[in-house]
């Protein structure tokens, strides 16, 4: 996710990236709540699997 944020910051203002990140995290949390799956940290770079 860090790579996604850095790439977006190169193109968009910081406030817009903040809102985009909040939206992305909200969608991840909603999917986790809907499926009942747990958060799992994957790999050294902090990839997400849920």
The model scores a pTM over 0.85: no
- Main-chain dihedrals φ then ψ at residue 41, nearest 5 degrees: -80, 125
Q: What is the separation of C-alpha 48 from the centre of its chain, rounded to a whole number of angstroms? A: 8
Q: Is the pLDDT of residue 48 over 70?
A: no
Q: What is the pLDDT of residues 1-46, one digit of tens each?
A: 788 899 999 999 999 999 999 999 999 889 889 988 887 766 655 5
pLDDT, position 47: 56
Q: Alpha-carbon distance 5 to 24, whole Å?
A: 11
- Main-chain dihedrals φ then ψ at residue 47, nearest 5 degrees: -65, 160
Tally Cβ neighbours within 10 Å of residue 3: 9
User: DSSP H helical segments within the chain, as ranges?
Assistant: 2-11, 14-35
């Amino acid at each position: 996710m860090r790579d996604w944020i850095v790439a977006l910051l190169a193109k968009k203002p910081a406030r817009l990236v903040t809102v985009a990140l909040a939206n992305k995290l909200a969608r991840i949390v909603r999917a986790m709540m809907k499926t009942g799956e747990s958060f799992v940290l994957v790999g050294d770079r902090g990839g997400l699997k849920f």
